[in-house]
Structure 1
Amino acid sequence: MFDLDLRSRDPIYQQLVDKFKELIISNILKQDEQLPSVRVLAQQLTINPNTIQKAYRELESQGYIYSVKGKGSFVDATAQVENRAALKEIEGELMKLMKEAMFLGLDKSDLKKLVDQAKEESGGGIAND
């Protein structure tokens, strides 16, 4: 389920956060689906439970999951809803990257192909786009 790179410059908790986001965004983890418990995931990945807990706290603060005391952590329904602040930030980053790509010779049709490929790989995105 998780490929952690212990040699990566990214902290392990950040790798977990990124992987969970990817699973949620690509709809592999569905709304209200329960995540593995901290203890079970720590045993499976042979890493410190505090690392898992830190990743779960980060995901919760970003709105991807929610916790129910005594029950565990679940994929948040609002993770499927637009997060306007995060989207604005991503739009800014995308704009900067697209300008750089066009400067380096990528044309509009190549960019469109990349957008289509990203949409296909992410499961289609929002229904009304």
Structure 2
Amino acid sequence: MNNDFNREKPIYAQLVERICSDIIKNRLAPGMKMLSVREYALEVGVNVNTVQRVYKELEQMRLTETKRGQGTFITTDEARIQLLRQETRRRIVEQFFHNMNEFGFTKEEVLAEIKRLGADTHD
């Protein structure tokens, strides 16, 4: 696993984002059992306390649930996963438009380019 952490952002927040990304990409499917806190800490090379914070955050976000004596599981709440997808898409698009604006591109220029690129791809 890639452990190149960004120094600008807390490691726990980066791990939460990584797991959210894995849920969106279905690498972590609904109902799937996650690694134990210790196993995940070893896998990503961080302190157990950091992973405990990550798992607590994911549970507060209602993306995981902990079953006493069984472990932590990805939520099976499809509506919650869809909300995560929507929130992530919105955040990425907002950041994209912000970055393009920083370069001086107008929203109209960006949308025209997106339409042009969309016309060039034949899915």
Q: TM-score, normalised by structure 1?
A: 0.67
Gaps of 5+ in 2: none
Gaps of 5+ in 1: 121-129
Report the count of equivalent residues: 113
Query: Does the Cα contact within 8 Å between 2:23 and 2:29 map onto a contact in 1?
Result: yes
The offset of 1:89, in angstroms, is 9.2
The offset of 1:36, in angstroms, is 0.5
Q: TM-score, normalised by structure 2?
A: 0.70
Once residues 9 and 58 of structure 2 are traced to their aligned partners in structure 1, the CA distance between those partners, rounded to angstroms, is: 16
Query: Does the Cα contact within 8 Å between 2:3 and 2:45 map onto a contact in 1?
Result: no
Once residues 96 and 47 of structure 1 are traced to their aligned partners in structure 2, the CA distance between those partners, rounded to angstroms, is: 28
Once residues 13 and 96 of structure 1 are traced to their aligned partners in structure 2, the CA distance between those partners, rounded to angstroms, is: 21
Judging changes above 3 Å, is the alpha-carbon distance between structure 1 residues 72 and 7 closer, same or farther for their aligned structure 2 residues?
A: same
Q: Which residue of 2 aligns with 1:123?
A: none
Query: Does the Cα contact within 8 Å between 2:37 and 2:48 map onto a contact in 1?
Result: yes
Q: Which residue of 2 aligns with 1:110?
A: 114
Query: Does the Cα contact within 8 Å between 2:16 and 2:57 map onto a contact in 1?
Result: yes
Deviates more, 1:89-98 or 1:37-46: 89-98
Judging changes above 3 Å, is the alpha-carbon distance between structure 1 residues 29 and 111 closer, same or farther for their aligned structure 2 residues?
A: farther
Mapping for residues 33-52 of structure 1, pairs under 5 Å: 33-52=32-51
Q: Which residue of 1 aligns with 2:83?
A: 83
The offset of 1:109, in angstroms, is 5.3
Q: Which residue of 2 aligns with 1:8?
A: 7
**4+ residue runs of structure 1 moved beyond 4 angstroms?**
86-102, 111-114
CA RMSD of aligned residues (A): 3.4
Query: Does the Cα contact within 8 Å between 1:65 and 1:75 map onto a contact in 2?
Result: yes
Query: Does the Cα contact within 8 Å between 2:58 and 2:64 map onto a contact in 1?
Result: yes
The offset of 1:63, in angstroms, is 1.6
Q: Which residue of 1 aligns with 2:64?
A: 65
- Aligned partner letter, 2:56: R
Q: Which residue of 1 aligns with 2:53?
A: 54
